A = this chain, B = another copy of it.
Amino acid sequence: MYSYKCITAYEGTRYNGWQKQGNTNNTIQGKIEEILSKQLGETIEICGSGRTDAGVHALGQVFHFHCNQELESASFLSAANEHLPKDIRLLSMEECDGRFHARLNAVSKTYQYHIDTSAYGNLFYRNTSHHIAAPLDLDAMKAAAILLTGTHDFKSFCSNKRMKKSSVRTIFDIRIEPDEASQMLDLTFTGNGFLYNMVRILTGTLIEIGLGIRNAEDIPAILEGCDRGLAGHTAPAKGLFLVEVRYE
């Protein structure tokens, strides 16, 4: 038995998210498993670092899989990318320890949310950003980002109401960076893990603060309330990218 770790990038626009689910075949996991199983002539099941929602993209999603044959990286990647749809690419593959687990061993993840602040929307980013033409108060957003950073119970920022496990997570860093040339505002979140929809709800809340609908000073009360109803809206999936997953 051989074990491999892969990094994949995809545009989520056409798919029902990462995770294979019942009858829904049109998932990124399902598509990669289908291609790899054909390519290797054995049933391949892949395990990702975590789900991404329908419409969410990845620059560096990580998965592992086991198979009965030894694989050579360059020829494996060439063959896989030849047969995968153009909106899913495998970027790297390396042999890993048989005990390596893409989800359980992840120690931190970075997500990025792209807000298109141009007047009429940059058409080349229409599937990969969320367009907001109204001016955003970046200072207020940065003040809120500082209050969100650190170890907190993020229950108010989780869509899963029946969450039984701990909803305590640590956000190491939230960066809010406008790019003048592209008129894009990038929000970059790095943390030890993120709850279901957490980055999108954090983004929706930061956007509402940027628009002046909420105040940065409300953040501590939102966190303490542990109630999804207290936080802002869930920002659209299409602006979100899973950028990187780190392991020890």
Contact = CB atoms under 8 A, between A and B. Distances in A.
Interface stretch (A86-94, A134-142, A154-162, A190-198): A86-94
A120 B10 CA distance: 12
Contact of A124 (B91, B119, B128): B128
Contacts of A126: 86-87
B120 A87 contact: no
Interface in A1-17: 9-11
A123 interface: yes
Contact of A81 (B90, B121, B128): B121
11 contacts: A10-B123, A11-B123, A57-B124, A77-B120, A86-B126, A87-B123, A89-B121, A89-B122, A89-B123, A90-B120, A91-B119
Interface of A: 9-11, 57, 77-78, 81, 86-91, 119-124, 126, 128
